[in-house]
Structure 1
């Protein structure tokens, strides 16, 4: 019997994380993590540091969830899935960081670092995990049907991942595993939200409360040490709060929608 062909949705769901994990395995087996970092870091240094600090700010775990504010009224199911996915991504990223405690590039090489000179907890990249958790949630949770929009989001995530190498604080292996891990955490969060719907009924207030708390934290926290992004981050927070307010004001909640 001929097996049924893979659907486009299935390919979109699994190809990206499998490619990232395959590349990570190739880098690990060929011991090219360090030389590949040196080549990429040198190449990325041709672009202005301010560009890289702004890209890396998009992967900040306190800022990434705020990009979901425009959907809090229309898609409480998406926010609930995002909360569950964020929990899984946090356990994945920080669990491996503390367990493996891999040295970062500045602890091994003489390298130019933009921003804080971090030395430990390299694997995996938390910023890359966070941004690809959001991207996979948008692609599969909204869901996004237009390939061009999907590829644009993946390019944004890739720029955030590249910025971690450009800043000199992560290895290529860190960002490849972080990207795959974030994507898979999003898929797991979407599946979990379909089975446990408390966050879309009696617990519907919880994801919104978490977003508001994160917005307050991001708005009033001090500088994280990345040059040139302090006021840009505040502007992003205020923009998302305004969009969320407008969404609540002008968008009555539609009938319950099933996650993809």
Structure 2
């Protein structure tokens, strides 16, 4: 018990340090000159990388793509399912409200020359929804993981997704940092509101199938993006396939189905 209390305390300190660092960076990006300089620097780096690679990285923050990745993780860590759902709901409420309130113009509206990969957007720049989604998942795991390498890895990937939003010309640095803050706060809010819950195999299977169905419907409803690279679409459907395979394996285990060939 004492070890668990110390572990939770250290995790709390880690989250506080992360949040403090994000707020410090956000304060720096509130300066228009700094915000613009960082955008030009990072957006310029995007021109040096393959466009499909940058697009694939930024797609990891896409709701359906990241949703499939998260679902794969939840099959292995089912006790986090309710917490992730609550965090996602909080994000779905907060991000659009903040976007509509500020109604900030995208870089394509302000700048004459910039590198744009994918769809050109013009409104509701602040905050970055992709970054919020990425940090929501990263911080959710960060708050329960005991492995520092996993924590650092997830935060690094989430940060890379945020940086990619600047590379593709969709967001300012200030948008990305605030997206990270919103995602982190949603994850922490879910921690306070939702305990770790273990469901029966029946409810686990139902929740996995329901979440997968929602993701697939959202993906199919969007249709084929004419600006999307084939590599991005392929990676996205690979994740859907992996997710489906893991659910199938879970169903077989929960029903005692074994491979007859063995």
TM range (shorter): 0.7 to 0.9
Q: Distance in 2 between matches of 1:68 and 1:222?
A: 22
1:39 equivalent in structure 2: 41
2:89 equivalent in structure 1: 87
1:148 equivalent in structure 2: 149
Residues 102-134 of structure 1, C-alpha deviations (whole Å, 9 max, x = no match): 000000002221111101110000000001101
2:243 equivalent in structure 1: 240
Q: 11-20 or 210-219, which moves further after superposition?
A: 210-219
Given that 1:36 and 1:172 are in contact with CA atoms closer than 8 Å, whether structure 2 keeps it comes out as: yes
Coordinate RMSD, CA, aligned: 2.6
Given that 1:218 and 1:234 are in contact with CA atoms closer than 8 Å, whether structure 2 keeps it comes out as: no
Given that 2:25 and 2:177 are in contact with CA atoms closer than 8 Å, whether structure 1 keeps it comes out as: yes
**Alignment partner for residue 112 of structure 1, among 115, 122, 143?**
115
1:101 equivalent in structure 2: 103
Q: Distance in 2 between matches of 1:108 and 1:19?
A: 28
Given that 1:63 and 1:215 are in contact with CA atoms closer than 8 Å, whether structure 2 keeps it comes out as: no
| Higher helix proportion | 2
2:213 equivalent in structure 1: 212
1:188 equivalent in structure 2: 189
Is 1:227 equivalent to 2:211 in the alignment?
A: no
Residues 153-204 of structure 1, C-alpha deviations (whole Å, 9 max, x = no match): 1111111111100000100001111111101101111221129x7x958987
Cα offset for 1:10? 1.5
1:257 equivalent in structure 2: none
Given that 1:72 and 1:208 are in contact with CA atoms closer than 8 Å, whether structure 2 keeps it comes out as: no
Kindly tell me: are residues 32 and 72 of structure 1, through their superposed partners in 2, closer, same or farther at Cα, counting changes over 3 Å?
A: closer
SS in structure 2 of the partner of residue 124 of structure 1? coil
Residues 61-119 of structure 1, C-alpha deviations (whole Å, 9 max, x = no match): 12222223235556443111111100111112111111111000000002221111101
Given that 1:71 and 1:244 are in contact with CA atoms closer than 8 Å, whether structure 2 keeps it comes out as: no
Q: Distance in 1 between matches of 2:246 and 2:175?
A: 33
Which structure 2 residue ranges, 5 or more long, are not aligned?
A: 1-5, 256-262
Kindly tell me: are residues 98 and 21 of structure 1, through their superposed partners in 2, closer, same or farther at Cα, counting changes over 3 Å?
A: same
- TM-score computed with the length of structure 2 as normaliser: 0.83
Q: Distance in 2 between matches of 1:160 and 1:39?
A: 16
SS in structure 2 of the partner of residue 185 of structure 1? helix
Cα offset for 1:207? 6.7
Q: Distance in 1 between matches of 2:212 and 2:16?
A: 28
- TM-score computed with the length of structure 1 as normaliser: 0.84
Is 1:26 equivalent to 2:28 in the alignment?
A: yes
Larger relative contact order, structure 1 or 2 (CA cutoff 8 Å, min sep 6) = 1
Which structure 1 residue ranges, 5 or more long, are not aligned?
A: 253-260
Given that 2:131 and 2:176 are in contact with CA atoms closer than 8 Å, whether structure 1 keeps it comes out as: yes
Q: 242-251 or 165-174, which moves further after superposition?
A: 242-251
